[in-house]
Amino acid sequence: MTIADGWVELVQNRIDVPRSARLRLTENGLTSVPVTQAHTTTARRIQNQIEAGLPGWAAVGEFSLVPPREGYKPEPDGAALPLDQVHPGESEINEALLPFVVEVVSPESKNRGFDTKPSH
């Protein structure tokens, strides 16, 4: 699939997506998919483990990774960020600051979760 430069980022910045959904880039284009309770619970539990197991680090979620890749800013479900780099008013985090990101997947997302997201 070929996407015009910057199109996905433009759409992400202009569409107000409810917190109960996420935008996904799939073979069918940019789609809105619901976030299930199991997905939310799993992400929260992983973030709790990050907080408990990594002193000096904060668990973060609900953010966009920058710089964009192919015009797309991935939105992982969680990551660990050094405490001195936490800026509560910002919604983007530079990928260079993160040792890893967490993406919660489920059987229903196996064909899009692994194959259609840019690697970070």
> How far, in Å, CA of 105 to CA of 11, rounded?
23
pLDDT at 58 over 90: yes
Between 16 and 66, the more confident residue is 66
- The confidence score (pLDDT) of residue 106 equals 67
What number is the average pLDDT over the span 53-73?
89
Helix (H), strand (E) at residue 64: strand 64-66
Query: Which residues, in sequence order, are CB contacts of 32 under 8 Å at separation 6+?
Result: 17, 21, 22, 23, 24
pLDDT at position 74 is 86
Quote the pTM value: 0.65
Residue range 29-34: mean pLDDT, rounded: 67
